[in-house]
Structure 1
Amino acid sequence: MCIISSKMKSYITEALSNFFFEYETPRQVLVRNRRVGVVCRLIQLGVLAYIIGWVFIYEKGYQTVDIAIGSVFTKMKGVAYTDISGEERVWDVSDYVYPDQGGESFVIMTNFIITDGQTQSMCPELPDGKNTCNSDADCTKGQFKRTGNGHMTGKCVNTTNTCEIMSWCPIEDDRTIPNPPLLSVAENFTLFIKNSITFPAFGVVRSNLVEGVDQRYIKKCLYDPDEHQLCPIFRLGDIVRLSGFNFSQMAGVGGAIGILIEWECNLDLSLQRCIPKYGFHGLYGNAKEGESSQASVGYNFRTAKYYMEDKVEKRTLMKIFGIRIDIVVHGLARKFDIIPTLTAIGSGVGIFGVATVVCDLVLLNLVPKKDFYKNMKFKYTAVQDEVPVIQLDKEDQEKE
């Protein structure tokens, strides 16, 4: 038993010693074959170009990324004048901007149809061809038509050949849109955009009022994509033009434009190089589209102002055609980080193994001396059956 225990102890000690103090490396076979060598180097060169060009230079795999959190504040400036049927009026920001809170989405009124003095009463439907009638039977009392403007009273008005309805009367007549637009001067209105962003992962806060954009500069600048790329004041006509639309046509029936404020910041460089870029994109209202083929042209909505007159509630209804502005902020910051760097390097080193796999397939299967290369690469040995250790110990005891 003592002999068995001593041999087991020796076996365990040797195994531990081999595990901790020995190093194993695969056998390398040097093959002098020009074609295979060229293929191997070309594949390795391609992998190296991918790692350097795509992973590190283009995708910047050595940096970590953070997405910005931003806010937008806007302010319009400009005054318009109208003279409609001898009624003169001046329109300021409070009159033509909806809503007036200065958010990132708002509408600038450029044209309108106004209906004064509406009251809750009985009147005939608008004779627009959508609600015609020949007799009272065509006007079912208490019902309304999808194309109508109120509840039918059951009477057909002979003078208009339309149903009598209970609604806000007189009914709005929007069959003719003013042309040219009543607020065509809006082309010269200016929009001031103030944008602030933060990259919480890096603790960086930036504003579009960057270095050099001070009060003196703002008072005289106007955005220009070539000369004043950082000016935060935009002429409405320029916004429409840069989005690819025609202002006079868009002002007539309305439309929508998206303004993209894009931040691409490399925080490994100077923070002053983290500046915004403005982009303008027409969403709908394109002058190139055939208006007659569209189901709904432009952008419009209705709003009303209510008041009391002789104890009777009245309202002034306005159908507003305007340019809707939607401001979107997209921010992305990058900064060096050792973890993604090591991950990119490790994945690249792993891809280098593709060259070895391809060359092995060529050597072992396609070249004329494939059998010779197989013998050089693989070593074949016959494994003999091992005799159990306990049996050897018993034979030693018998000899003793």
Structure 2
Amino acid sequence: MPLRETCCSVCDFILEYDTPRIVLIKNKKVGLINRLVQLVILSYIIGWVLIWRKGYQDFDSIVSSVIIKVKGVAFVNSSGFGERLWDSADYIIPPEQESSFFVMTNLIRTENQTQGHCPELPKNGFNCTSDSNCTAGLIDPHSSGVLTGKCVTFNEGVKTCEVLAWCPLESQTVFPNPALLGGAENFTVLIKNNIRFPQFNFSKRNILPNISASYLKTCVFNRTKEPYCPIFRLGDIVRETGDKFQELALQGGVIGILIKWNCNLDRSASECVPQYTFQRLDNRNVDETVSPGYNFRYAKYYENSAGKETRTLIKAYGIRFEVEVFGKVMCVLRCLRSQFRDSLAQGVEDCGFKLHIGTRDSNTDSTG
């Protein structure tokens, strides 16, 4: 008996057909409420999801690499340096950095330093009248070395604590004016930027396909005439930030080179091009800034004629250029087609078939 009831239930389920009943309500109040609800839903979808949030678009973030090469020479003829030519191996310090580069524009040089004993500089706050004012072995952040415990003569009328340090100490505090390497204004930098949007398997670089090797040897970026040339004159970069290169070169600073990529994959790939802007990143107002500019010290070591380790200490002022790459890719129609194709292919494969879309087997007879 249960088997018979089960069979009857299955037959009834298979053979019966039902359809929803539609009830037409002729009531203005109910009809108005219904249309208002539909209008609210439609407004939300069109206004918020599609227009404001751009929900119909698909986006991806950028993956980028930057390669930088600076070229140029500067000639210096001064009382402290004599005649000297500076090239990129001299003024690019260090020679390789990640998405940035530093160009030395001014410097203070202290030559022939060897490790020994010498009086501390009065400006460092170690003036003394007797040995009791100097603590032997004291290492102070404001000192140039280790105090020996002796009070010695710095010059006539001034005594300071003796230190074990690189002597003679760096005594010059005023940077040269005008800047020694003001000729860096005419240096050029080649920026090679490769980008990729991994979600869409789309790659591009800022050296566009229509740029030839001969063009690359002669072009220099110009906002109106050469907006896509990847070679930039340093003076032009600084000028676009609103600064004067020769003033900035005195104490240095930080400049941002911004490369913006906004690409629409529904359009031609040739329309996906970089946009360059330049900004001063540090405070340009020297009078309102404590410790303005950008500088650091480095040394060049060698042995003197007596075989003793000697160094030349250089306090380098210059401009640090930071290359920032950002952007996004937008995809609507192309992505929808791709998603539809992938979904269709996956659905067919799930049914035990293999689908080739947009391709034709070369061995297939097309004559029918």
Check if 1:155 corresponds to 2:153: no
Partner residue of 1:64? 58
SS of residue paired to 1:198: strand
Looking at structure 2, the residues matched to 47 and 220 of structure 1 have their Cα atoms a distance apart, in angstroms, of 59
1:125 aligned to which of 101, 114, 120: 120
- What's the counterpart of residue 327 of structure 1? 323
The code of the aligned residue for 2:238 comes to: V
**1:72-91 to 2 correspondences below 5 Å:** 72-85=66-79, 87-91=82-86
C-alpha distance in 2 between matches for 1:317 and 1:283: 28
1-side partners of 2:37 and 2:144: how far apart? 74
Residue 101 (structure 1) aligned with residue 96 (structure 2): yes
Shift of the 281–146 alpha-carbon distance from structure 1 to 2, 3 Å rule, reads same
RMSD of aligned Cα (Å):
3.1
The residue identity in structure 2 corresponding to 1:273 is E
Instruction: Tell me by how many angstroms 1:120 deviates.
Output: 0.3
Residue number in structure 2 paired with 1:365: none
1:204 paired residue number: 202
The equivalent residue for 1:233 is 231
Moved over 3 A (4+): 4-14, 23-31, 39-60, 336-342
Establish whether residue 273 from structure 1 lines up as the match of residue 271 from structure 2.
yes
Deviation, 1:22, is 2.5
Deviates more, 1:214-223 or 1:48-57: 48-57
CA shift for structure 1 position 44: 5.7
Between Structure 1 and Structure 2, the one with more helix by share is 1
Give the structure 1 partner of residue 358 of structure 2.
none
* Aligned mates of 2:254, 2:203 — CA distance in 1: 30
**Alignment-derived partner of residue 216 in structure 1:** 214
Paired position in structure 1 for 2:163:
165
SS of the counterpart of 2:95?
Answer: coil
- After superposing the two structures, state which structure 1 stretch, 203-212 or 219-228, moved more: 219-228
TM-score by length of 1: 0.73
CA distance in structure 1 between the partners assigned to 2:275 and 2:141 by the alignment: 46
Distance 1:5 1:207, change over 3 A: closer
Structure 2 unaligned spans of 5+: 341-368
What is the distance in 1 between the residues matched to 2:95 and 2:166? 27
Judge conservation of contact 2:259–2:323 (CA < 8 Å) in 1.
Answer: yes
Q: 1:112 & 1:42 partners in 2: Cα distance? A: 74
- Alignment partner, residue 289 of structure 2: 294
2:330 partner amino acid: R
State the Cα distance separating 1:121 from its structure 2 match: 0.6
- The one-character-per-residue Cα deviations of 1:223-266 (angstroms, maximum 9, x if unpaired) are 12233221111111221222343423321111111212121111
Q: If you compute each CA radius of gyration, which structure gives the higher value, 1 or 2?
A: 1
The alpha-carbon distance between structure 1 residues 118 and 55, as it changes in their structure 2 partners (threshold 3 A), is same
1:112 matches 2:107: yes
Q: Is the 8 A contact 2:124 2:142 kept in 1?
A: no
Q: What amino acid maps onto 1:332 in structure 2?
A: K
Q: Is the 8 A contact 1:62 1:341 kept in 2?
A: no
**8 Å CA contact retained: 1:82, 1:183:** yes
3-state SS, counterpart of residue 199 of structure 2: coil
Distance 1:279 1:28 in 2: 63
Match of 2:28 in 1: 32
The alignment's TM-score, normalised by the length of structure 2, stands at 0.79
C-alpha contact (below 8 Å) 1:63/1:341 kept by paired residues: no
1:398 maps to which residue? none
Deviation for aligned residue 1:62: 2.8
Structure 1 gaps, min length 5: 343-400
Per-residue CA distance 1:253-282 (angstroms, 9 max, x = gap): 111112121211111111111111112222
Offset of 1:166 from its aligned partner?
0.4
Question: Cα deviation per residue 1:271-317 (whole Å; 9 max; x = unaligned)?
Answer: 11111111222211x33x2x344332111111111000121110001
CA distance in structure 2 between the partners assigned to 1:101 and 1:146 by the alignment: 30
